[in-house]
Amino acid sequence: MKKKYKFIKSSIIGILLICMMTNFLPTTSAGIIFNLNSIADISWEGKEEDKPIEINYQSDKISLAIDYKITKGLLGRRIMNFLSDKTTYVYINIVDHSHWIIPILETDAIPMKITDKNQPSEYTKIYFENIDNIPAYEEGYITIGAFVRRIGIIKGFYETYKIKIISGFNPIIQYKLPQGTFHTISPYTAKQIPIKFTNSGNAVAKISIEVINTSDSFDLSFSEVSINPNTTQTTYFIVMADDNFNEEKITLKLTPYSKDNPEDKGESKLFHFFIKNDGSRKEPKFPINVNILMIIIAIIIIILLMIILIVVAVRRKK
Closest CA to 200 of 169, 229, 234: 229
What's the longest Cα–Cα distance across the chain? 165
Q: Cα 54 from chain centroid?
A: 10
User: Residue 27 and residue 152: Cα distance in Å, rounded?
Assistant: 9
Residue 132: inside a domain: yes
- For residues 228 and 288, the model is more confident at 228
pLDDT > 50? residue 28: no
When pLDDT is cut at 50, 70 and 90, the band that residue 76 belongs to is low
Q: Which tens digits make up the pLDDT trace of 150-161?
A: 987 888 999 999
Residue 53: inside a domain: yes
Any idea which of 51-60, 85-94, 167-176 has the lowest mean pLDDT? Answer: 51-60
Residue 189: inside a domain: yes
When pLDDT is cut at 50, 70 and 90, the band that residue 118 belongs to is confident
| Domain match, 239 and 110 both | no
Residue 9 one-letter amino acid? K
| Domain match, 148 and 231 both | no
pLDDT of residue 71: 81
Task: Identify any residues that bridge with 265 across adjacent strands, giving them in sequence order.
Answer: 257
- For residues 15 and 235, the model is more confident at 235
| Domain match, 134 and 212 both | no
Handedness of CA 53, 58, 60, 66 (dihedral sign): negative
- For residues 109 and 285, the model is more confident at 109
Residue 240 one-letter amino acid? M
- Could you give the percent of the chain with pLDDT greater than 70? 81
pLDDT of residue 207: 94
Residue 269: inside a domain: yes
Sheet with 173-176, strands from edge to edge, namely 173-176, 191-199, 231-241, 218-222
DSSP notation for 97-156: E-TT-EEEES-SEEEEE--SS--PPEEEEEEEETGGGSPTT-EEEEEEEEEE--BTTBB-
Q: Considering its fold, how many domains does the chain have in total?
A: 2
CATH code assigned at 236: 2.60.40.10
Residue 116: inside a domain: yes
| Domain match, 13 and 87 both | yes
- Please give the C-alpha separations between residue 266 and each of 177, 210, 217, 238, 260, in angstroms, as whole numbers: 20, 15, 32, 24, 14
| Domain match, 61 and 180 both | no
> What domain range is 265 assigned to?
173-277
CA triplet 272, 276, 277: central angle to 5 degrees? 150
pLDDT of residue 21: 47
Residue 311: inside a domain: no
Q: What's the whole-model pTM score?
A: 0.66
- How big is the chain, counted in residues? 318
Note the helical H segments in the chain: 2-24, 27-34, 76-83, 290-317
- Please give the C-alpha separations between residue 5 and each of 9, 10, 82, 166, in angstroms, as whole numbers: 6, 9, 18, 64
Query: Among the ranges 159-163, 167-171, 291-295, which has the highest mean pLDDT value?
Result: 159-163
Contact by Cβ (8 Å): 210, 251: no
- Could you give the percent of the chain with pLDDT greater than 90? 47
Residue 113: inside a domain: yes
User: Residue 86 and residue 83: Cα distance in Å, rounded?
Assistant: 6
Q: Which tens digits make up the pLDDT trace of 181-196?
A: 999 999 888 999 999 9
| Domain match, 177 and 162 both | no
| Domain match, 69 and 162 both | yes
- Please give the C-alpha separations between residue 294 and each of 208, 286, 288, 298, in angstroms, as whole numbers: 50, 17, 10, 6
Any idea which of 58-62, 93-97, 115-119, 293-297 has the lowest mean pLDDT? Answer: 115-119
